Amino acid sequence: MLYKIGNKIVKQGAKLGIKRFNELIFTVDGTEFPKDVSTFVKNLTVRSSVPNTVTIDWGDGTIDIVDFSPLSGDYIYILTTHTYTDGNSGFRDVKFTFENTEGIYDFFALRVFLGGFFPKNILKFNNLESIYINQNSGIKEFPSDLSGLKKLKTLFFDGVEFGKIPASILPLNIETLTFVNCLDLSDITNSNFDLLVNLKDTLVSLSIPRNNIIDFPANFSQLTNLEYLRTSFPIGGELTQPIYDLPNLKVFNYGRSDGVKPISFANFEHLTTLESITIDVKSTTSINCSVANFGALVNLTTLRITGSLFDSQTNIDTFINTLYDVFNVNALKATGSTPFRNMLITCTNDNDVTSPTGTYQQPTGYVADSNNGNPASPKEKIWLLVNQYNCAITYTN
C-alpha cells in the first residue's frame, strides 16, 4: 500500500510508525540500485541479533519500510533491487535508517556500488562485529573515528580504493583483516604498513595480496598472535626476514607474481608452527629448497605449490626428488601420526601438461613400514609418498 508523507510517496512493506532511527547514507548512481554492472550475484545484507526494522529512502521519492526476517536464531535484511522511475541515472543518496542499531552486528556488501565516503554514523553501531565490502571501487575513504566499535573483530575489503591502511582501525581489537587490491604499500611509512604492529595483541588473520608490496616492515614479526598470512610476491621478488620470524604462523598463502627471482625457503626452518603452505608461482625460474629447510616443519600437514614453475620438466622432477628426500630423512616409515606423514600435497602446473618422469610403481626392494627400496624415478618416489608415508598427492599425470 502507498502512503504520502509530505511530498514523498511511501510504500509500506511492513509497518509504519515514528521511531528514533540511526542512518547510513550511501552515494549511488544508475537507473537501479544496486545497479546492474555484471551478471554476477550482488548482495547487501545486514544481520541483527534482535528483531529489527529498516527504512530505505531510495532518493527518488519512494520509501520502503521492511522488517528483518528471522534466520537461524538471528534476523537478517537482504537488499532487493529498486528501479528508479524519475529519469535520473546520475548520483543520488540512498538512506538506510535502522530501528535498533544495538542489535546490528554484521554489514555485508558484495558487488554493490557504494560511492564516496563510508558513513561516519557507523560509529553508532557499537555492537558491530564485522564489515565485509567486496569488489567495490566506489568507496574512497573510511571514517576517521571508529573508537566506539569496541566489538569490531573482522574487516574485509576487496577493490576499495583506500590507498593506505585507515588509521582509524589501528586502535581497535581487529582479529581478521583483509585488504585485496585496496592499498599501495610500496611506501611502508606513508601507507601505515608499519603501524599494523598496533594490532599485535589481537590480529590472528591477515590477507594483503595485490597491494604493491615491495618489502615488509621491520616490526612485522611483532605480530605475535598472527596465525594466518596471505600475501603476494613483493615486487623485489623474495620474502624478507620479518615474515620468517613470525612466531605463531600456522597458515602461509604466498600469491602469484610475474617476478622471475627464485623462491627461497632458506629461512623456513624458523616457522616451526607452520601447518599449511600454499605457493602460487607464475614465472619464477626456480625454487630453492632443501631437506634442511623443511626438516624443522614438524607440524606441516598441507603443502600446495602450483603455477607455471612446474611447466618445466627439470623443475617438477627436482621438486619431487627434494620432497622425497625430506620424507626419507625426516619421516618415520611405520604407520602412525608422526611428523611428515599423512600430508596433503599438491604440485601442479598451469598448462596441466608436464608430468614427473618415470612410471608410477612400487620401487625394487620396497618393504612396507621399513624399507623404501631403490626408487629409480620421481614417479616411483611419489608412489612411496602415497604408500609408505600415507600422503595424498595431486600432480599432473
Higher pLDDT, 191 or 256: 191
Residue 153: what pLDDT?
98
Q: Could you tell me where the DSSP H helices lie in the chain?
A: 241-244, 291-295, 313-330, 378-387
Rounded Cα distance between 302 and 340, Å, is 10
Helix (H) or strand (E) segment spanning residue 253: strand 251-254
Dig out the grid coordinates for 142 from the structure: 573510511
Q: How do residues 339-372 score in pLDDT, each as one tens digit?
A: 999 999 998 887 766 789 999 999 999 999 999 9
Would the pLDDT of 218 be above 90?
yes
What per-residue confidence (pLDDT) applies to 139? 83
Average pLDDT over residues 136-157: 89
- C-alpha angle 274/299/282, rounded to 5°? 45
* Max CA pair span of the chain: 91
Give the pLDDT band of residue 238 (cuts 50, 70, 90). Answer: low
Distance CA 149, CA 128 (A): 7
Which pLDDT does position 16 carry in this prediction?
A: 43
pLDDT tier, 257 (very low <50, low <70, confident <90, very high otherwise): low
What pLDDT band is residue 21 in, cutting at 50, 70 and 90? Answer: very low
Q: How confident is the model at residue 331 (pLDDT cuts 50, 70, 90)?
A: very high
pTM of the model: 0.88
What pLDDT band is residue 264 in, cutting at 50, 70 and 90? low
Confidence (pLDDT) at 325: 92
Q: Report which of 133, 177, 134, 135 is spatially closest to residue 152, judged by C-alpha positions.
A: 177
pLDDT at 1: 39
* Rg over CA atoms, the chain: 26
Average pLDDT over residues 227-256: 82
pLDDT score of 296 = 84
> In the predicted model, what is the mean pLDDT of residues 194-210?
96
pLDDT of residue 169: 96
User: Is the pLDDT score of 245 beyond 50?
Assistant: yes
Which pLDDT score is estimated for 140? 81
